[in-house]
Structure 1
């Protein structure tokens, strides 16, 4: 990022504070400083120390990438490195990812970056990608596009309205949490997609519904499968790359789905 294009650090901090819906007094108390000093920082009348920038960023739960931007805007060097995943220093992280992905089979699992681009996945991901046009799978394939594009998984999804609502809500929360312009553009793009033919809007969920998770249901040559997912991240990352990786693990929502996935894996192993 061009340092000359960065807004003043005070402007950035004020934007983050307002985004987190905190008053100057509330943030100052949490960061062990005075509201007067914070006001001077935000208006540019006072330059915060490096320690103060990091303390404020921590209280505002600013992502590591944006913490580096705050430091640069204040005239300091970045605090967090950004390593290539295939670099020597990331060997332990890669090993952990490989172990997690392989151990989750025969159920699908995928690693994505901050923008939901696919980093890697296990062999069972093919059940989700069967029939998806090659152009949607060209690197960097994007999980949100794959799920919501009318030619992607959405064309086989039997509860597309529910799935679309879930993805858009999750993506919008991430946009609001990070302030990331690239994520905002992705959100606007996928929100404008036409639904697949025959798709219906998500029905209102009744209070006390038996379903506690929004499943992903789609047809396969062996019958309909139903899955839910959970997201795993690295704990206490000190590297921008690691902090932005997420592992989405899919689980069968019923025994029929578990059977189909097991039998599919057994056939592939022959």
Structure 2
């Protein structure tokens, strides 16, 4: 448990003094906790992991390592307890139509989507659309959306940079594996940061997408639940795409009105 706490503290680039001040404990006590000389209460572990912004799933792992039961449940999205969440998410997705929107888990597996997302999946290989559909793989795979992304190198840099930051923040080995896989897909060279991670456009990266003879342009936003106490809920993300130019907005509006 102490080793895990130390790893998270170092990952957040905090000294023992800085963390002890934030958590309102003595540096000596924190040192004893990290070295195993002191066994903290479950409340203390939760307090420290909160200050370190440790994801809920990983907080449970630290608690288990300390000999305590997990503090945060992990409820399936299909469970009866999640009925309200499912209904709310589906209302959000439906309300965003005709623009594309989807819900993904922490590994970017597709959980829900509205009808507008068909604009992106049309023309993708059937194998990539078999559940569980991975949104990022579908985006950059040469048999997926990639051949129709006009600014593929730019979009690829954005996706890889975002994935690298998420993997670094959560220390999730599956995300690092996914980053390695997606980095191997063709799509142009990207500028890299000091850690080798791709650096996207610092302002905003549009998704310029070829649909038939048209070029559509989108920007995206990501929404997460603000105060989750459930692991599943904490890991859900709603990705919504908006038209980035009047031509795209007009085209999608025509699709909505005429049914084309």
Residue 15 (structure 2) pairs with residue 14 (structure 1): no
- Find the aligned partners of 2:164 and 2:154 in 1 and give their Cα distance: 15
Unaligned runs of 5+ in 2: 193-200
Cα offset, 1:91, TM superposition: 1.1
- Label 1:267 to 1:133 Cα distance change in 2 as closer, same or farther (>3 A): farther
Residue 147 (structure 2) pairs with residue 192 (structure 1): no
Q: Which residue of 1 aligns with 2:93?
A: 101
Partner SS, residue 92 of structure 1: helix
- Find the aligned partners of 2:118 and 2:131 in 1 and give their Cα distance: 16
Q: Which residue of 2 aligns with 1:153?
A: 145
- Label 1:22 to 1:203 Cα distance change in 2 as closer, same or farther (>3 A): closer
Structure 1 residues 95-137: Cα deviation after superposition (integer angstroms, max 9, x where no partner): 1101100000000000000000100100000001110001111
Residue 118 (structure 2) pairs with residue 126 (structure 1): yes
8 Å contact from structure 1 (residues 159, 202) kept in 2: no
RMSD, matched Cα? 1.7
- Find the aligned partners of 1:72 and 1:190 in 2 and give their Cα distance: 33
Structure 1 residues 165-190: Cα deviation after superposition (integer angstroms, max 9, x where no partner): 00011001100110001111111110
8 Å contact from structure 1 (residues 72, 78) kept in 2: yes
Question: What is the 5 A alignment of 1:1-270?
Answer: 9-195=1-187, 200-201=188-189, 212-268=203-259
- Find the aligned partners of 2:213 and 2:254 in 1 and give their Cα distance: 10
- Find the aligned partners of 1:27 and 1:82 in 2 and give their Cα distance: 28
Unaligned runs of 5+ in 1: 1-8, 205-209
TM-score (norm 2): 0.93
- Find the aligned partners of 1:233 and 1:106 in 2 and give their Cα distance: 21
Q: Which residue of 1 aligns with 2:196?
A: none
Cα offset, 1:202, TM superposition: 5.5
Q: Which residue of 1 aligns with 2:195?
A: none
Partner SS, residue 209 of structure 2: strand
8 Å contact from structure 2 (residues 102, 238) kept in 1: yes
Q: Which moved more, 1:210-219 or 1:177-186?
A: 210-219
Aligned residues: 252
Partner SS, residue 61 of structure 1: coil
Cα offset, 1:218, TM superposition: 1.3
8 Å contact from structure 1 (residues 17, 23) kept in 2: yes
- Find the aligned partners of 2:42 and 2:235 in 1 and give their Cα distance: 23
8 Å contact from structure 1 (residues 228, 251) kept in 2: yes
TM-score (norm 1): 0.90
- Find the aligned partners of 1:88 and 1:122 in 2 and give their Cα distance: 22
- Find the aligned partners of 1:212 and 1:183 in 2 and give their Cα distance: 25
Cα offset, 1:67, TM superposition: 0.6
